[in-house]
Amino acid sequence: MRNFSFLLSLFLLVACGFEPVYGDLGSKTEYTAVETRLSQVEIAAIPDRNGQYLRNALIDRLYPHARPGTAAYTLSVSTIEERHTDLDITKSSDATRRQIRLLTKLTLTDRKTGAAVLDRDLSAIGSYNILGSEFTNRVSEQNARENALNDLAQQIELQLGLYFQRQ
């Protein structure tokens, strides 16, 4: 009975149109259509240090083989807003855990028409423990910030990939 249920769920999954975002699972000698379209996106400069980190993460994700010669699209990411929230408050009103929330907006613009073809609001959250050592707190905060920025880069890549797959 378990085998039958497994086979039935497998057939239903295939019948629903599920397919990988980046194309077929065949040979990897040629780039898939989504990879080719992602490599045609020019990433505009993003303000501030967090923006520089995010832009570098996007370059690593979108251009695994080479940077584009001629870009068909421009990706603009707004200034990253950073919010801090104390989470775990002790009886003496000291915080022992803090949350970092990063908010931004992406806009993908078609360079031929100048029209915005994709607009999304994005957010990512990271948290860290607040300890007695200031150095440890700064390192933990930076690590949480970088993890949240990498999450934003992954979200942007996913949004672009889904947009190009549907085209």
Question: The domain spanning residue 138 has which CATH number?
Answer: 3.30.160.150
- Assigned domain for 135 exists: yes
Task: Evaluate whether residue 5 is within a structural domain.
Answer: no
Residue 53 pLDDT more than 80?
yes
Q: Whole domain around residue 90: which residue ranges? A: 31-166
- Give me the pLDDT at residue 29, please: 44
Query: Is residue 2 one of the residues assigned to a domain?
Result: no
Task: Note whether residue 12 is domain-resident.
Answer: no
Region 47-53: mean pLDDT is 95
pTM for the whole thing? Answer: 0.79
In percent, how much of the chain has pLDDT > 70?
Answer: 85
Instruction: Please check whether residue 120 lies inside any domain of the structure.
Output: yes
pLDDT digit string, tens, across residues 65-103: 777 678 889 999 999 999 999 887 777 777 888 999 999
User: What whole-number distance in Å separates Cα of residue 87 and Cα of residue 79?
Assistant: 25
| Structural domain count, the chain | 1
* Banded pLDDT at 35 (limits 50, 70, 90): confident
Does a structural domain hold residue 60?
yes
> Is residue 22 a part of any domain in this protein?
no
Residue 37 pLDDT: 85
Residue 137, amino acid: N
Angle, CA 103 vertex, CA 98 and CA 105 arms, to 5°? 170
In a domain, 114, yes or no: yes
